Structure 1
Amino acid sequence: MRRARARGLAGAVLASALLLTGCAQSVDPIERLGKKAAEGVRPHRPALPTAYRHWGLTAPLPAPPHPAARTLALGTPPRVVDRVPTRDRVVFLTYDDGAGRDPRFADMVRELRLPVTLFLAAPGHGDPARLHRLGAGLQNGAPAGRRAEICGRQRHLTARLGTRPRLLRPLGGGYDPSALRAAADCGITALVLSRATLTPAGALTYTHGPHRLRPGDIVQIDSAPPLPDRTAAVLRGAQGEGLTPAHLEDYL
């Protein structure tokens, strides 16, 4: 009896020592996932095995390289980018608020584990929170030169969706030095334009040549329906160039 009590006491002392020295590791997967999220680590979630066929692709989407090969230093004033110079063979799919209004697009993002970024000009439209839960990045889509609107959008997204944007897509695409100063005042580190744009008519237009997707290109996809079909067309074009989508936030 005394031996059993002594063994129990010794075990309790050992467990306490392990906890105090940090040697005890949590076996709770939810806790580990929370720690990864806090550290900014995206947990790897493979796409459903045959989902690519359902969405009109001829092959699965390869996972982007991890960690990302970054080549840009961001700071003040914010950088203006329409592509990311990187050796990774990736492209970046970006959308406006309208993407949150299409439930089939949310299904596409979920099944393909598709990395996308939404630039929100009117956060009340659609359901961006659902896309965010599926891994989509949510960034600012305010007018570039209006400090009050940029900062107001920052506060709104932080309070409502729990994410504080670092990137801004200026409405209309225009900006000047005063716009960069206003963005910097609100915590923006980069103004994001696009190298290629998918128009409502389904044509992929380029700001300058060559007229094909290249590694690091930022693609702006208009949210006109049917959005999943239009996105699949861009993905097929990317696959034809040996490219795969990646999270823009991993590179900027």
Structure 2
Amino acid sequence: MRLPRPRRRLLSALLVLPVLALVAGCGPKTTQWSAPSSPSASPGRGQAASPTPTASPNPFDGKTPRFDPAPPPEPINLAGGPTAPLLSSIPTTQKVAFLTIDDGWIKKPEAIALLKASGVPVSLFLLSPAAKENPAFFKELVANGATIQAHTVNHLSMPSLSYERQKQEICGSADELGKLFGTRPTLFRPPFGDYNQNTLRAAHDCGMKAVLYWKQTVDKGKVRYQGEWGKMQPGDIVLMHFREAYVDDFTAALNAMKANGLTPALLENYIP
């Protein structure tokens, strides 16, 4: 039986709709397979793309003096004997100076960025309890050019102590620092710069190659000179501390070296 023309048109339309739905993707998604996306694939619908991580700018870039590379080191000769030698400078004609930093209780986060920006080597004379409080802080400094040496356990004036008690302070500090950082110190600085013959003997018996003094000190951004004001000589050892004015002190020390035509060098490279 032939249907009237309007009913034939309606039936044709009803037969075509399911086909169009499949073609348009409205039906079950079984017609095409695609590999699952990896974690690094493009984000899905409604998902924001993760920003590409970028390194934060170093706030100290361009704010410290630039130096030529240090010359190849010329290690000095150390006298043998039952005591460790005392050094306030390194006897050298090379135009180098040495920055040393004591204690370690005040750990300014700027110290790490500042060392990275400057690119200079420094020697840290640490109290072992201060280092143990946050070894990760000092490991980051080591990763950027610092070395670690000994500065006692309790920061006592050494001449007030017996030989045995001094030995406990020096050996105890060196042993603990060696455990924390993997390398046992070979240099020692007495607190306040106070020492006697027992200090030098105890340092030697604890395996220290030398006891370190200094020529210049830096505090609150001011360099204090032992000799002629403003003059720093090749081989001079400069002392500063981990203090609140760390950034000012560090910068002042480098500016003084630059003004005297000296390049910061690694102290340990000159002590065999």
Query: Structures share a fold, TM > 0.5?
Result: yes
For structure 2, the 5+ residue unaligned runs are 1-57
- Aligned with residue 187 of structure 2, among 149, 167, 178: 167
Matched residue, 2:257: 238
d(CA) in 1 for partners of 2:270 and 2:204? 19
SS in 2 for 1:92: strand
Matches within 5 A, 1:177-196: 177-196=197-216
The one-letter code sitting in structure 1 at the alignment partner of 2:132 is G
Q: Which secondary structure does the structure 2 equivalent of 1:101 belong to?
A: coil
1:3-59: per-residue Cα shift (whole Å, max 9, x none)? Answer: xxxxxxxxxxxxxxxxxxxxxxxxxxxxxxxxxxxxxxxxxxxxxxxx8973523x5
Aligned partner of 1:138 in structure 2 is 148
Deviations 1:107-165 (Å, cap 9, x if unpaired)? 12123222001101132244222212222110000154511121111111111111111
Partner of 2:139: 129
Match of 2:104, SS?
helix
Paired AA for residue 198 in structure 2: S
The aligned counterpart of 1:210 is 228
Give 1:89's aligned residue.
95
Alpha-carbon distance in structure 2 between the residues aligned to 1:148 and 1:99: 21
Q: State the distance in 1 between where 2:261 and 2:180 align.
A: 38
Equivalent in 248, 264, 269 of residue 229 of structure 1 = 248
1-structure distance, mates of 2:244, 2:62 = 15
One-letter code aligned to 1:141: H
Residue in 2 that maps onto 1:37: none
Partner residue in 2 for 1:109: 115
Match of 1:54 among 51, 61, 65: 61
Could you list the structure 1 runs, at least 4 aligned residues long, displaced by more than 6 angstroms after superposition: none
CA contact (8 A) 2:86 2:210 kept: yes
Q: Is the 8 A contact 2:177 2:184 kept in 1?
A: yes
Alpha carbons 1:55, 1:229 under 8 Å: kept: no
* Partner amino acid, structure 2, of 1:132: V
Q: Which residue of 1 aligns with 2:176?
A: 156
Counterpart of 1:214 in 2: which secondary structure? coil
Amino acid at match of 1:130: E
Task: Report the number of matched residues.
Answer: 199
Bigger Cα Rg:
2
1:199-248 deviation per Cα after TM superposition (whole angstroms, max 9, x unaligned): 2x332223x31222111100001322242232112211211111110111
Q: 1:74 to 1:101 in 2, by over 3 A?
A: farther
Q: 1:214 to 1:101 in 2, by over 3 A?
A: same
After TM superposition, the structure 1 stretch with the greater mean CA deviation from structure 2, 109-118 or 242-251, is: 109-118
Alignment equivalent of 1:71, drawn from 76, 80, 100? 76
Q: Is the 8 A contact 1:114 1:245 kept in 2?
A: yes
For the structure 1 residues 116 and 100, does the alpha-carbon distance in structure 2 shift closer, same or farther, using more than 3 Å as the test?
farther
Partner of 1:80: 86
Q: Report SS of the residue matched to 2:132.
A: coil
Q: TM-score when scaled to structure 2? A: 0.67
| Other structure's SS at 2:123 match | strand
State the SS of the aligned residue for 1:216: coil
**Is the 1:119–1:138 contact (alpha carbons within 8 Å) kept by the matching residues of 2?**
yes
User: In the aligned structure 1, how far is the partner of 2:192 from the partner of 2:115?
Assistant: 26
1:98–1:125 CA contact under 8 A, matched in 2: no
Q: Secondary structure at the match of 1:96?
A: strand
Q: Deviations over 1:61-104 (max 9, x none)?
A: 211112x0233325442110110111110110111233871221
Unaligned residue ranges in structure 1 (runs of 5+): 1-50
Aligned-residue identity in percent: 32
Aligned equivalents of 2:97, 2:141: Cα separation in 1: 19
Shift in alpha-carbon separation, 1:198–1:69, aligned structure 2, 3 A: same
Could you say what secondary structure the match of 1:219 adopts?
strand
Contact 1:52 1:60 in 2 (8 A): no
